[in-house]
Amino acid sequence: MSGCEGGSCSTCSGDPDRLPPGMLRKYDLNGSTADGILVWAETEGEKLAKVSAELISAASGLSDGRVYVALFGGPDMKTLYPEIFGYGTDTIYHIRGKGVETYAPETYSEALAQVAERINPAAILIGATPRGRETAPRLAAMLETGLTADCTGLRAEGRKIVMTRPAFGGNLYADIECTAFPQMATVRRGTFPAPEPREGKGTAIYWQYQGAQTKEIISEDPSEKDAEDICEARVLIALGAGIRDKTIVELAEKAAGSVDGAMVCCSRALVERGWMPPSRQVGMSGRTVRPDLYIAFGISGSVQHRAGISGAKRIIAVNTDQNAPIHAFADLSIISDAEPVLRSIAELL
């Protein structure tokens, strides 16, 4: 080692490990000792985001090491500690400071990098939410590691995390390994089951972030949200391109209205027709759902649609074509026109 930090001197040039002139290797994590999993606990108002609860609970099953959680916010966020510990967290790093009073991807990623540098985790998991998708790549760049975005599955092989995500337009699922530590993934909501709320205890550490905000948000205009979320539904009545009459959508809504916890969702075909909003689309570019019962009317079962329903406990397919791919993974197949079946269900209910 020459002791210099740049890559332009004659001693260092040509060394592939050298960084460009002026760049310091700031977060040099040690892959041989990296252990445990760090999860960013995102919050929605004063509540823990559902995807974060799923990830924290999954992390304790994936890792033999410790589970760390990074939580941003003021002292009022302490009310979330019992829930976060209850999902299997050993240590909460509660990050505070002027620079992180409001969300900004630059400061949040820097603060997370500082925590990661301190604990040296083997993996970092972040929800594939709008904020997670914005923050995770910045954090990965700071830590000089790889990031697998929008995962629909994770499994552990010792310290290694094998990350699964749809690839090539959803025509296949790729298992991806990160060759550097910490291994990073953003993970979709619904990839893991929602944990039962429970309370626990552990260690909480205040982490003072020293940086400064680089931006100020002067106004926020949230896009309109569907009042109900199909990810919460216990029973889903799913409609696909085989539905030819738009009044069937109303019929399905009526049937769903008669069952507690039931909602109507759809394949991309009906969103493209403008019959249902994108928030109701299930699949690779829609939502991942885990209902107790999924009844698919006129849905063929493309790989892209299937990507969103692999967590469904029971699938019933109603389809006129007995060779439709959906029958291969449905628990019960009804080879029939969708409309009379749906009408009978609505009348019975």
Ligand X SMILES: Cc1cc2nc3c(=O)[nH]c(=O)nc-3n(C[C@H](O)[C@H](O)[C@H](O)COP(=O)(O)OP(=O)(O)OC[C@H]3O[C@@H](n4cnc5c(N)ncnc54)[C@H](O)[C@@H]3O)c2cc1C
Instruction: Note whether 241 binds ligand X by CB under 6 A.
Output: yes
In this chain, which of 145, 148, 164, 319 binds ligand X, going by CB under 6 A?
319
Q: Which of 68, 305, 330, 345 binds ligand X (CB under 6 A)?
A: 305
Cα(191)–Cα(253) distance, rounded to whole angstroms?
Answer: 26
179-218 mask for ligand X (x: CB under 6 A)? ----------------------------------------
Query: Taking contact as CB under 6 A, which single stretch among the options 22-30, 135-143, 202-210, 320-328 is the one that binds ligand X?
Result: 320-328
Interaction between residue 265 and ligand X (CB under 6 A): no
Q: Does 268 bind ligand X (CB under 6 A)?
A: yes
The residue sitting closest to ligand X, measured at its beta carbon, is 283
Nearest to 103 by CA among 254, 220, 262: 220
Task: State which of residues 121, 190, 195, 242 lies at the interface with ligand X (CB under 6 A).
Answer: 242
Q: Is 333 near ligand X (CB under 6 A)?
A: no
CB of 118 to ligand X, least distance (A): 39
CB of residue 318 vs ligand X: minimum separation in angstroms? 6
Q: Are 168 and 16 in contact (CB under 8 A)?
A: no
Number of residues that bind ligand X (CB under 6 A): 28
Listed ranges 20-28, 51-59, 155-163, 279-287: which one lies at the site for ligand X (CB under 6 A): 279-287
Region binding ligand X by CB under 6 A among candidate stretches 21-29, 59-67, 113-121, 237-245: 237-245
Interaction between residue 334 and ligand X (CB under 6 A): no
Interface ranges with ligand X (CB under 6 A): 169-170, 240-242, 267-269, 281-286, 298-300, 302, 304-305, 308, 318-321, 324, 337-338
